[in-house]
Chains A and B, each alone.
Chain A
Amino acid sequence: MTVMESSLSTEIMYRKPQGPWQLAARRFVRHRIGVVSSLILLFIVGLVILGPAWFISEDAAFRPDPMRINSPPSADHWLGTDEVGRDILARIIYGGRVSLLVGLLAMLVAITAGVLLGSLAGYFGGIVDSLIMRFTDVMLSIPGIFLIIALSVFMGPSMRTIILAIGFLNWMSVARVVRSLFLSLKEQDFVLAARCLGVKDGRIMWGHILPNAMAPVVVAATLTVGSAILTETAVSYLGLGIQPPTPSWGNMLKNAQDLIWTAPWVAIFPGAMIFFTTLCINFMGDALRDALDPRMQL
């Protein structure tokens, strides 16, 4: 860790030596909004996972009730009903499952690709590095939404498409960071030692170097989840999002637009969920960055 310059370091010098993760945890806790955000996020995730088992029926979220379309919030439907009479609270909970899942899986795709390409480039250098980095440059130069539109039109709009498209467009910054860390770490003594002992490349890369490069990856992963949720919303606005009848916060918000004047609650709640969730994720990511690697460029 190279974070010793900040003001905290003086404080720590007089204490018992601590591992980098403990240090990070202490820093994280100092970021109060980050902590609060994480708790809210935990609540949202819990609600979304447990909600259906606990108090929301699948019928409420999926079964259209033509006799009760666009009804305002009431005792029966806390957040009202939508344009085909489904309960908005139930749909927000089911939609949250989808939106968060899209965010998480897209993040996994992006991180996997980024770490893989970044570590290969950084570790092997030379022609491998040049090829991978030029490809990274190419992908960085094309506006993401342009490619997402093309991909969605190509593969047909579906959850799989969205996850792959978002993942496919977010790995570049991770790859760059991982590459630069690998470049510096691979010259360090413990790597040289491992190499002398005849440890295989793959094991050195992912067994020895990668754990030391995890901090920025964790931060990037967090922030990617947030941006993936927003991207899903933007893609929904263009009509290429998650397809019916599956709810997602993005397609709920898109569908609510026409009703913004006559039934604003249909728009307000999914919009608020997207906003607060992304906000909390970003705060959490910010706190993580402060804690793990304040100089990170994400």
Chain B
Amino acid sequence: MTRYIIKRLLISIPVLLGISLVAFFLVQASGDPMAVYISNPNLSAEDIARLEKAYGFDKPVYVQYFYWLRKAIVGDWGQSFLTHQDVLLMIRQRLGNTLILMGTSFAITLIISLALGMYSATHQYSPADYLVTAFSFFGYSMPSFWFGLMLIIIFAVKFREWGLPYLPAAGMYPIRGEPSFFQLIRHLILPATVLSLISVAKYTRYLRSSMLEVIGQDYIRTARAKGLSERVILWRHAFKNAVIPLLTIIMLDIPQLFSGALITEQVFAWPGMGRMYWEHAVWIDYPVLMGIILLVSTLVVLCNLLADISYAIVDPRIRLS
């Protein structure tokens, strides 16, 4: 087991290096981080030459990469060109907010897709099955910024005007009030809904088909033959085996959730990391972009590692292959 974990850990290192390489060259090739200064007519030629030198843009790209890498490894992720702050500090200020949003939508996604997937699998090809499918695909097919704006119009603006209980349109806490946990939950509802509906369809469908597959297996037939109640068969035997492979899929989906968070945070003015990425991408503030990409990717790699290891614990066959 230890050998397996070490092997998996070692594999992660080139992956992380690869991520940093891909990200660095893409981001670096994107344009001129000095643009933010040059578009400013109040800067003189000397100003710009001085700034360029101060940031090391006069060196070739690969030199800049190793320069960046050497520092990144020891935990110095550099300073933002725009805010002059340490990238790690900036990420720390936003990461929690993004994780709150993502965590909540993740929980919502999971609850809805488990419920719908199980229902769908046990009622295959029934009208209700179609309805569930239709519902789960609804959110998946909707452009998220448009969906977000619609929700704001209906639940934050119209409901308020009609005197109905309404939801806040933007931010994490009320603009004028005191922050509280309860307010946080209210502010979470709309963005988390938008974000979670993206993945509901996928998980519902996946759970449905893996349930169908498991139900067809011999041990379920045996259980049925033993006269176990349908409920016990479904939940104790089939469900457990159907959900485990779902976890792998979910882990692979974390980057997609971040992608969704970028748009959602923008629409709902959520003070998260995705929005920060976009605000700094426009000006190619690459220490920040690199920091975010690297952090997110590391999270993904770690999650995958955890999933693989727990999988290996459950199913020893994997370790051997």
Residue numbers of A with Cβ under 8 A of B are 5-7, 30, 32-33, 134-135, 137-147, 149-151, 153-154, 226, 230, 233-234, 237-238, 250, 253-254, 257, 260-261, 267, 271, 274-276, 278-279, 282-283, 286, 289-290, 294-297
Residue numbers of B with Cβ under 8 A of A are 11, 14-15, 18-19, 22-23, 26-27, 29-31, 125, 130, 133-134, 137-138, 140-146, 149, 153, 201, 205-206, 209-210, 212-213, 216-217, 245, 249, 252, 255-256, 258-259, 262-263, 266, 277-278, 281-282, 284, 289, 292-293, 296-297, 300-301, 304
Give the docked Cα–Cα distance between A194 and B240 (Å): 42
Within the complex, what minimum Cβ distance (angstroms) separates B20 from chain A?
9
Which of B30, B134, B143, B252 makes the CB contact (< 8 A) with A253? B143
Chain A residue nearest in CB terms to B284: A153
**Which residues does chain B contribute within 8 Å of A151, judged by CB atoms?**
26
Within the complex, what minimum Cβ distance (angstroms) separates A255 from chain B?
12
Within the complex, what minimum Cβ distance (angstroms) separates A251 from chain B?
12
**Which residues does chain B contribute within 8 Å of A138, judged by CB atoms?**
15, 18-19, 22, 297
**Which residues does chain A contribute within 8 Å of B258, judged by CB atoms?**
143, 145-146
Within the complex, what minimum Cβ distance (angstroms) separates A131 from chain B?
9
B255 x A134 contact (CB < 8 A)? no
**Which residues does chain B contribute within 8 Å of A296, judged by CB atoms?**
209
3 A-B pairs with least C-beta separation:
A278-B141, A145-B259, A138-B18
Known contacts A134-B18, A257-B149, A295-B210: A146-B293 contact under CB 8 Å: yes
Within the complex, what minimum Cβ distance (angstroms) separates A162 from chain B?
15
Give the docked Cα–Cα distance between A289 and B146 (Å): 29
Chain A residue nearest in CB terms to B296: A143
Give the docked Cα–Cα distance between A161 and B88 (Å): 31
Give the docked Cα–Cα distance between A142 and B266 (Å): 19
A-B contact pairs, 5 of them (CB 8 A): A143-B258, A145-B262, A233-B145, A238-B263, A279-B141
Known contacts A134-B18, A150-B289, A234-B143: A144-B26 contact under CB 8 Å: no
Within the complex, what minimum Cβ distance (angstroms) separates B77 from chain A?
16
Which of B145, B213, B262, B300 makes the CB contact (< 8 A) with A141? B300
Give the docked Cα–Cα distance between A137 and B297 (Å): 10
B145 x A234 contact (CB < 8 A)? yes
Within the complex, what minimum Cβ distance (angstroms) separates B129 from chain A?
10
Known contacts A6-B212, A32-B130, A150-B26: A144-B143 contact under CB 8 Å: no
Within the complex, what minimum Cβ distance (angstroms) separates A159 from chain B?
18
Which of B18, B31, B137, B149 makes the CB contact (< 8 A) with A283? B137
**Extra A-B contacts (20), CB below 8 Å, given A141-B296, A153-B31:** A7-B216, A33-B133, A137-B304, A138-B18, A141-B255, A141-B300, A142-B255, A143-B256, A145-B259, A146-B296, A150-B27, A154-B26, A154-B29, A237-B266, A250-B143, A257-B145, A257-B149, A282-B141, A294-B212, A297-B249
Give the docked Cα–Cα distance between A7 and B216 (Å): 8
B256 x A144 contact (CB < 8 A)? yes
Known contacts A5-B213, A6-B212, A145-B262: A150-B14 contact under CB 8 Å: no
